[in-house]
Structure 1
Amino acid sequence: MYEPDSIRRIRLRTVAVPLPHSVTDAKVLTGRQRPLREVSLLVAEIDTEQGHTGLGFGYCLRAGATAQFAHAREVAPLLIGEDPNDIAHLWSRMTWAGASVGRGGVAAQAIAALDTALWDLKARRAGLPLAKLLGAHRDAVRCYNTSGGYLQAPVEEVIDRARASLERGIGGIKLKVGQPDHRTDLQRVDAVRKALGDRVPLMVDANQQWDRTTALRMGRALEPYELEWIEEPLDAHDLEGHSALAARLDTPVGSGEMLTSATEVAAFVERGAVDVLMHDAPRIGGITPFLRVAAMAGLRGMAMAPHFVMEIHLHLAAAYEHATWVEHFEWLEPAFNERLEIRDGCMIVPNRPGLGLSLHEQADGWTMAQVEIDGRG
C-alpha cells in the first residue's frame, strides 16, 4: 500500500571540481573560450518526512555556476511539503515559476539538479537502480572515451591515452577536431586510425567550429576512416545545416549537447536533422524532459549518445531501446565515493539503488556556495 510522503528539506551547493590539467578544444583555438580547468556542479540533496533521500546534480563549464545556484535557490522552496513522487508535476511547477526568464538555459539547468534528485529518491525508495525503475533494455552500455582526445595534447599522447582506455575496457575513442588548419585535423585522425587499427570505433568532435562548406568538405575527407560519427560539425542551432549535411554524408552526424531545452532538441528529432542524438539531461532541465525527447527519438529509431555526465546518462542510455553509447569522462569521479565498472567495451549499470552515488567528503572543500531549505523561513 502506498504511504504518502512529503519533502522536508533540500540542500543545495555549488561544488567546483578541479581537473587534473586544463584542456583545450576547437572553441579555445578559435578564441571563443578559454581552456577548461574545472567543472562546477550544482548539487541538490532532498530529504522526506519518511526518511528517504535523493541526490541529483547539474553542471556548467566556465561561466554560469552562480546563476544556476541562485535560480535553484529561488524555486526549491516550492518543493517543500510536496509529494516527491509527483515528479512531472513538480518539474512543471518549478519551470513555470521562472517562466519569465525562459524555459531553457540557466533556468532549466537549475531545475535539472532538483529533478534528478527526485528521480534518484524515487528509485532509492523502490530499491532499484534508476535504469531498472525506468525499464532497462540492457545492463551494460557501449562506452567511448573523450577526455584523452583534446587538442592541447600532441597526437602521440592522444594515442597513448587511447590505448590505455582500450586496455581498461572502454569500447571507442573520440578525438577533438576543428582546428584552424584543417589539414592538422586530418593528420591527427589518420595517425590515430593507423595506430589503433580499423576495428576500434572512432569518433570526431568539431565543437561547432565549421561552417557549412567546411563541414561538408571535412565530412567527405573523413569518410575513408569509417567513423562512428562526426559530432557538432556546425553551430548547435543550425537545424537546416545539420539536416542537409546528414543527408549528404555516409558518416553519421551527431549533435544536441549545447541545446538547452527539450523544445530545441525536439525540433532536431522531428526534422531528422541528426543521425545520433546527443542531448544532455542536466542542460535541458533534467531527467523528466530528457525522457520525453528520448521517447520521440525512439519512435523514429534514432541512435542516441548522451553528452557527458556518465553517472546520470548511463541509466538513461540503458533504458533506451535503440543503439546507444555513453561518454566516458573521469572528471567527476573525485566528487563521488563510487566508481562505474567498465569491461568488454561497455559501462556496467550499477546495482545500487537510484543513481548509485554518494558525495565524497572532499566535495566539502570544493564547495563555493550552499544553502539549506526546510520550510521554516
Structure 2
Amino acid sequence: MGGASMKISKVEVRRYRGDTKAPYVAEILLVNVATDGDILGAGFASAPPGMGAIFRQLIEKLLAPQILGADPRLTEDLWERMHGDAIPRRGGEGIVRVCLAAIDMALWDIKGKALSVPVSKLLGGHRDLIPTYANCAHHMPPDELAERAASYVAKGHKALKIRGTRSFVTPDEATERVRQVRAAIGPDVRLMVDVNGSWDVDTAIQQLKKWEPYDVYWLEEPVPPADIPGYAQVRARAGSTYIVGGEQHAGLLEFRTLIEQGHVDIVQPNALITGGITDWLRIHAFATAKGVPISPWDLQMIHIHMAAGLPNVKWIEYFMADNSLLEFQTKLFTGPFIQEEVTDEGVFLRAPQEPGLGLALDEEMAERSLVQD
C-alpha cells in the first residue's frame, strides 16, 4: 500500500460538544479524510465557545476542496494549497490554521497507516521513553494546590507546572502559590510557572526577584505573545530561571522572531495552533538549528509522536485525568494508548505503537457529546 497510487476521496467532520463555557475546548471537531485505497485518516481541532459550526464550514467548504483528488502523502504540497490558496492574501492565518491542522493531522495519520507504522517512525529517529512534566495548573487555594503537587511527586513526577495567570490570581497570590508548592514538593523537583502572557515586563522582572528563594525552573509566557522586545528584556534579567514561550505563536516567522529577537531559552510550539504536524516540523528544524530546545504545549496524543521520532524535544506536557483544564479532550480521546514508566528521573511515556497517530474515541463519551447537525 505504501507505494501504490492513492487519492483523497472525501473529507468529513463530526462535532463533539463538551462544556460550552470552557475557554479553550468547548467543542472538538473530528476530521476524517478517506482515500480510494480504503485508508481513513483522523485528525481533530479544538473550538472555543460558539466556534464549532464556523470551524466546520471552514474545513468542509474552503479547505477540503483544495485537497480532494490529491495524493494524501504529499503533505507539504497540500499544506501550501490549504494555507495559501483556500483564502488568498494571508487568509490562511488565525483560526484557519487550527482548521488546517486537523486535516494535516489526518494526512499524517494516513501516511503512517499506509506503511503500518506509527507517525513517530516517519520522522527519522526513535526513542522508547518520552520525558514528561506534569501540568498541575489547577485553580485551587495555595495549600490545596501544594497538596495536589505533592501527590504528583509521590507518583514519581520530577517536574511540574503551576499557573500564576493574572486573570485568576494576583502577582502576590502567584507568589504564595510558588512558596507553598515549593515547600510541599521539596528542592529536587523542577517547578515551572505559566502566566499565559498576562504580565508586563516590570511585573515579570519583579516577580522573578521575589521567587529567587524558590528556584523556579522556568517562567512561561511572561508577557503577551506580540511583545517580543519584552521577552528579551525579561530574559536579560531572569538570572537562572529559563524564559520559555510559544504556545500562542504560529508559523515559522513568529517562532524565528521569538528565538532570534526574544531570546527565549525553550520554545513551545503547539501542532494545532501552528497549522498541523507539517508546520510544527519546520519550527522544530529551525529551533534545533539554533540550539533551542522544544517542549510542546498540550496535545500529548500528537506531540508524543514528535518526541519519540525527533531529537531536541526536551519534554512533552502531560495532562492527567484529574486535570479539569482540558477535561473534555482528555475524556473524549482514549488513543493513542498512553503507558507510563516511572524511573528515578521522573515519569516517562512509552513511544506509541499503533499505526498512524493512533487516535481513538471513547465510544460512550462520543455518543453522548455528538452534535447532531
| TM-score normalised per structure 1 | 0.87
2:114 is aligned to 125
Q: Does 1:78 align with 2:50?
A: no
From 352, 355, 366, the counterpart of 2:354: 352
Residue 38 of structure 1 deviates from its aligned partner by 4.6
Aligned partners of 1:113, 1:282: CA distance in 2, in Å? 7
Aligned partner letter, 1:365: R
SS of 1:368 mapped into structure 2:
coil
1:341 is aligned to 339
Aligned partners of 1:298, 1:55: CA distance in 2, in Å? 28
2:323 is aligned to none
SS of 1:281 mapped into structure 2:
coil
Residues 268-347 of structure 1 aligned to structure 2 (within 5 Å): 268-271=258-261, 273-330=263-320, 331=327, 332-338=329-335, 339-344=337-342, 345-347=347-349
2:53 is aligned to 66
Aligned partner letter, 1:71: L
Residues 5-16 of structure 1 aligned to structure 2 (within 5 Å): 5-16=6-17
1:41 is aligned to 28
SS of 1:58 mapped into structure 2:
strand
Aligned partners of 1:142, 1:242: CA distance in 2, in Å? 26
Contact 2:334 2:362 in 1 (8 A): yes
Q: Does 1:106 align with 2:95?
A: yes
1:364 is aligned to 367
- 95-104 vs 49-58, which deviates more? 95-104
Residue 113 of structure 1 deviates from its aligned partner by 0.0
From 174, 187, 207, the counterpart of 2:161: 174
Per-residue Cα deviation, 1:108-131 (whole angstroms, up to 9, x for no partner): 111000001000110121111111
Compare relative contact order (CA 8 Å, sep 6+) and give the higher one, 1 or 2: 1
Aligned partners of 1:35, 1:55: CA distance in 2, in Å? 24
Q: Compared with structure 1, are the counterparts of its residues 246 and 37 closer, same or farther at alpha carbon in structure 2 (3 Å cutoff)? A: closer
Q: Compared with structure 1, are the counterparts of its residues 168 and 48 closer, same or farther at alpha carbon in structure 2 (3 Å cutoff)? A: farther
Residue 369 of structure 1 deviates from its aligned partner by 6.0
Q: Compared with structure 1, are the counterparts of its residues 119 and 198 closer, same or farther at alpha carbon in structure 2 (3 Å cutoff)? A: same
Aligned partners of 2:349, 2:16: CA distance in 1, in Å? 25
SS of 1:267 mapped into structure 2:
helix
Q: Compared with structure 1, are the counterparts of its residues 100 and 37 closer, same or farther at alpha carbon in structure 2 (3 Å cutoff)? A: closer
2:324 is aligned to none
SS of 1:354 mapped into structure 2:
coil
Aligned partner letter, 1:150: H
- 62-71 vs 250-259, which deviates more? 62-71
Residues 182-201 of structure 1 aligned to structure 2 (within 5 Å): 182-201=171-190
Aligned partner letter, 1:194: A
Residue 102 of structure 1 deviates from its aligned partner by 2.3
Residue 272 of structure 1 deviates from its aligned partner by 5.1
2:256 is aligned to 266
Contact 1:178 1:205 in 2 (8 A): yes
Aligned partner letter, 1:60: A
Q: Compared with structure 1, are the counterparts of its residues 69 and 223 closer, same or farther at alpha carbon in structure 2 (3 Å cutoff)? A: farther
Residue 197 of structure 1 deviates from its aligned partner by 0.5
Residue 81 of structure 1 deviates from its aligned partner by 1.3
SS of 2:15 mapped into structure 1:
strand
Aligned partners of 1:228, 1:141: CA distance in 2, in Å? 20
Identity of aligned residues (%): 30
Aligned partners of 1:213, 1:349: CA distance in 2, in Å? 42
Contact 1:306 1:325 in 2 (8 A): yes
Per-residue Cα deviation, 1:162-206 (whole angstroms, up to 9, x for no partner): 233334444421111134532221111111111111111110011
Contact 1:131 1:316 in 2 (8 A): yes
Aligned partners of 2:152, 2:89: CA distance in 1, in Å? 45
Q: Compared with structure 1, are the counterparts of its residues 38 and 108 closer, same or farther at alpha carbon in structure 2 (3 Å cutoff)? A: closer
Q: Compared with structure 1, are the counterparts of its residues 138 and 369 closer, same or farther at alpha carbon in structure 2 (3 Å cutoff)? A: farther
Residue 64 of structure 1 deviates from its aligned partner by 3.3
Residue 36 of structure 1 deviates from its aligned partner by 4.0
Contact 1:84 1:118 in 2 (8 A): yes
Contact 1:306 1:317 in 2 (8 A): no
Aligned partner letter, 1:145: A
SS of 2:18 mapped into structure 1:
strand
- Ranges in structure 2 where 5+ consecutive residues have no aligned partner: 321-326
Contact 2:231 2:262 in 1 (8 A): no
Q: Compared with structure 1, are the counterparts of its residues 366 and 272 closer, same or farther at alpha carbon in structure 2 (3 Å cutoff)? A: same
Q: Compared with structure 1, are the counterparts of its residues 318 and 243 closer, same or farther at alpha carbon in structure 2 (3 Å cutoff)? A: farther
Per-residue Cα deviation, 1:221-243 (whole angstroms, up to 9, x for no partner): 22332222100110011111112
1:255 is aligned to 245
SS of 2:334 mapped into structure 1:
coil
SS of 1:283 mapped into structure 2:
coil
Residue 37 of structure 1 deviates from its aligned partner by 8.2
SS of 2:42 mapped into structure 1:
strand
Aligned partners of 1:349, 1:39: CA distance in 2, in Å? 29
Cα RMSD, aligned residues only: 2.2
Q: How many residues align?
A: 354
SS of 1:12 mapped into structure 2:
strand
Residue 63 of structure 1 deviates from its aligned partner by 5.1
